[in-house]
Amino acid sequence: MKIDLMSNPGELHAVQTMAREVEASGFSGITFTEGGRTAYLSVAAAALVTERLEFSTGIAVAFPRSPMITAANAWELQEASRGRFRLGLGTQVRAHITRRYGVEFDPPGPRMRDYIGALKAIFKAYNKEEKLDYQGKYYQLTLLNDMWSPGRIDYPAPAIDVAAVNPYMLKMAGELCDGVQVHPFHSQQYIDQRLLPAVAEGAAKAGRDASDIDLLVPVLTIVGDSEEEKAASRAFCRQQVAFYGSTPNYAFQFDLTGFEGTTAKIRACQKAGDMAGMSDVVTDEILQHYTVEARWDDLADKLVERYQGVAERLIIYTAGMDYARNPASLGKWGEVARAVVAAG
């Protein structure tokens, strides 16, 4: 089992400094999220100053970029990283896609299926395996002469991972993708009862083995050697679970762990403008299902106990934030990372 530090993209020279230090610390890789800054540029900066570290976009927003633009970025990053790049894609949400990016969103599942088919066709065309002739419902791509192709590279096409929560996307991932970017808001019940069966169903449809689909799993951790130290990360995790749990489509996550109606309570506080109240709805009993809590010396064992045999790669949700506040925190996180890798 591999283990990544999750990080926001940043000023590119600072990203390079961080990447060198993360590589030296013992992490397997960095997963770059995407918000106000593009994940792709940070991957490029980090790849150019490291030798071993692996990189993922977790996730890059798909629809605002044509499949050809995304494929070109991924192809060049795979070459720049010398084969150490995974392309993680997601739909984002309708409001951002239509109102921030100004492009079409619906229907997100079928559109993403078509997008991934287009990417695979483009990769084959780049590699001169097939002439580009992709005829999908949302994307039709037929023109790629040598002038506009990046050409062959000395590495395999990048792995394609998709962010998936609900059955359609999970089955599609099992059928078409190399991996699933699991949502950080997840319980063991969700993985066992919803995620794994859906991925397996999709894999079976395509004649694949479910074990061929990697699970990349962001993990919310509550860690500290004193209750005071744990309290800060507990408060952050409580806030994140409330934030994610306020989404109506994720209400079932609470239902699976026996806390029906939790999303409705969180949303009532949200509508009233009671942000503190939203977090208060998430009790310690609820929180334990969506986090891993431990002392620093025990955290690696707890992570391995919960995810060994399930996750191909763990992604530590708060490690990049901790580094941004205090680079010295990488010392403790590196010890955890090395122990997880050794156990795997």
What is d(CA 267, CA 58) in angstroms, rounded to the nearest whole number? 27
Q: Specify the pairing of strand 134-135 against strand 292-294.
A: unpaired
235-274 pLDDT per residue, tens = 999 999 999 999 999 999 999 999 999 999 999 999 999 9
**Banded model confidence at residue 2, pLDDT cuts 50, 70, 90:** very high
136-150 pLDDT per residue, tens = 999 999 999 999 999
Task: Give percent of the chain above pLDDT 70.
Answer: 100
Length of the chain: 344
Q: How large is the average pLDDT for residues 285-310?
A: 97
What is d(CA 295, CA 297) in angstroms, rounded to the nearest whole number? 5
What is d(CA 51, CA 21) in angstroms, rounded to the nearest whole number? 12
Q: How large is the average pLDDT for residues 94-111?
A: 96
31 touches 6 (CB < 8 A)? yes
320-341 pLDDT per residue, tens = 999 999 999 999 999 999 999 9
Q: How large is the average pLDDT for residues 81-85?
A: 98
pLDDT, the chain, mean? 97
> What token pair was written down for 17?
């400094």
Name the helix (H) or strand (E) containing 4. Answer: strand 2-7
What is d(CA 31, CA 53) in angstroms, rounded to the nearest whole number? 10
12-53 pLDDT per residue, tens = 999 999 999 999 999 999 999 998 999 999 999 999 999 999
In order of their start, the domains of the chain are 2-224+291-343 (3.20.20.30), 225-290 (no CATH)
pLDDT of residue 344: 74
3-state per-residue secondary structure call for 254-304: HHHCCCCCHHHHHHHHHHCCCHHHHHHHCCHHHHCCCCEEECHHHHHHHHH
pLDDT of residue 156: 98
